[in-house]
Structure 1
């Protein structure tokens, strides 16, 4: 699927990942990409860009893998002695009725799960030792909620060592989720743009009507904003201000939802049908927005933090200049 935004170095990584995900040769596309090896090299900019480009490709292709949990577990690999691909983090998701729950994304068979308990450390358990319940969602995304955790014991990673690894894992997870939201929303916009060019009313394509063009333009503007903040976060990494990952994830969730709503308006009734792919891209955006803090929760939390601390969460100009100079 061709990108809707301007092409750059990052798009080469996305296109390569998209081709691998589409290959469908029966093997693990992440292995064929060498993605698991990239997890040990995230300090290098090029490796980091390549590793995180996978998530934008997954959104575009509606691919399903354990990559998000594996990426979040990466800071714990040295602490647990496990190799990349063997450890997958359970991801927090807030339920309106039951509070915060832990879910795993993708196929975790044969892997170990990192069950992080903030304030108490992190445990490592085999996936078959926990009770997993499948969450029925569209979007071609496998999500299982942990219904029963093993009883708490001496944590495999004590809290003093788990805390910095947890912060790093959540930073990586939020940036990755934002990129996957971006990819899914891009694909939804492409469907709407193609429909607007082909569907005719009153003897001409509906894409020539001003109202439709405005919807598509607003959607593209929303995507450009997410593209900019995610690219900056990937490049600057640890040089970003405090809570920048929350800013990126909140913006991606809000804009991704907005793009899906506007493109659905362009598609009209056909966009509501089960046969049309738009609802899968829309559902992928909604499912990812629910992980690691929704756009609403993160925005409210950031607002409270800014009000109480008088902290400016904006990126300093010097950091932005380093991004473009490098």
Structure 2
């Protein structure tokens, strides 16, 4: 990536973080950023980088929005005739105790909900056709469980159209989740670094001790690796190899958990308290890892796919070196 592109990416991220810090009641930060206007332009590299910068910023600032659902719904907009922001996709999540449940992330008030059922197409339900039950999730993540009358579900998008849109939407969603996990992991690491510089033992900061420095160095390495992978994935867009977003999401779940665990070791007992922000960063990483396939689930599925097809998951060097 050129220095100009790197500078532009930093500017996108800084602008998104600034907008998300705006006081409550100051309006929708997505509207303020013009984020919804970026969705029809995702084929453009700069627009794509700006759109995905929001998710990394959300992780760093521990803010929730309807952006994930809006991104998942983007490939369905042409088939539904709805504008960006007017349609938000639900996310299917399997509970060990309660089976498959639908959830909506962020404030989806006033938006139509897309309920996709693989093999059957997708339905568009008005806000008054469903009930939203808030779910208590740590990490300052706004999650609502979606309950609907099965008789209200009628396919507005046939399966022949929904199938390719579903693949595209999930690829976008997995990359977005990977970036938000990265942002949250970076937030947890920043807390640990600050603590290591301020906390003293035996007359010196604990960050001077080799064991603590190794922990923080390993955590930083995991963040840098994930940063590099997500940056390439955003730059490639549709040129990425098949199932590349699954590879990125699987790496994000693994690296994000490792960063938070090592940061917790550096923080010590204070990191275990619910009042400390590490609790929220770590919980957000775990919650996001559970959406659209956990790291363990995706790794297992990708391994089976590689064995069956012999597909090389690496990004071709010619693609990486292209402008």
Asked whether the equivalents of residues 135 and 144 of structure 1 are also in contact (C-alpha less than 8 Å), the reply is yes
* Aligned partner of residue 315 in structure 1, secondary structure: coil
Q: How far off is 1:154 after superposition?
A: 4.1
Residue 72 (structure 2) pairs with residue 72 (structure 1): yes
- Please give the residue correspondences for 1:1-326 in structure 2 after superposition, counting only pairs within 5 Å: 8-24=7-23, 26-151=26-151, 154-322=154-322, 326=323
Deviations 1:139-169 (A, max 9, x none): 1111112233442654100000111111110
Q: How does the TM-score come out when normalised to structure 1?
A: 0.95
Runs of 4+ in 1 over 6 A off after TM superposition: none
Structure 1 distance, partners of 2:231, 2:244, is 13
* Aligned partner of residue 213 in structure 1, secondary structure: helix
Structure 2 distance, partners of 1:289, 1:53, is 18
Structure 1 unaligned segments of length 5 or more: list them.
1-6
Q: How far off is 1:23 after superposition?
A: 1.7
RMSD of aligned Cα (Å): 1.2
Structure 2 distance, partners of 1:295, 1:94, is 15
Asked whether the equivalents of residues 264 and 278 of structure 2 are also in contact (C-alpha less than 8 Å), the reply is yes
Aligned to 1:4: none
Structure 2 unaligned segments of length 5 or more: list them.
1-5
Asked whether the equivalents of residues 132 and 145 of structure 2 are also in contact (C-alpha less than 8 Å), the reply is yes
* Aligned partner of residue 146 in structure 2, secondary structure: strand
Asked whether the equivalents of residues 111 and 126 of structure 2 are also in contact (C-alpha less than 8 Å), the reply is yes
Structure 2 distance, partners of 1:134, 1:87, is 20
Q: How does the TM-score come out when normalised to structure 2?
A: 0.95
Structure 1 distance, partners of 2:7, 2:213, is 25
Of 46-55 and 8-17, deviating more is 8-17
Structure 2 distance, partners of 1:108, 1:100, is 20
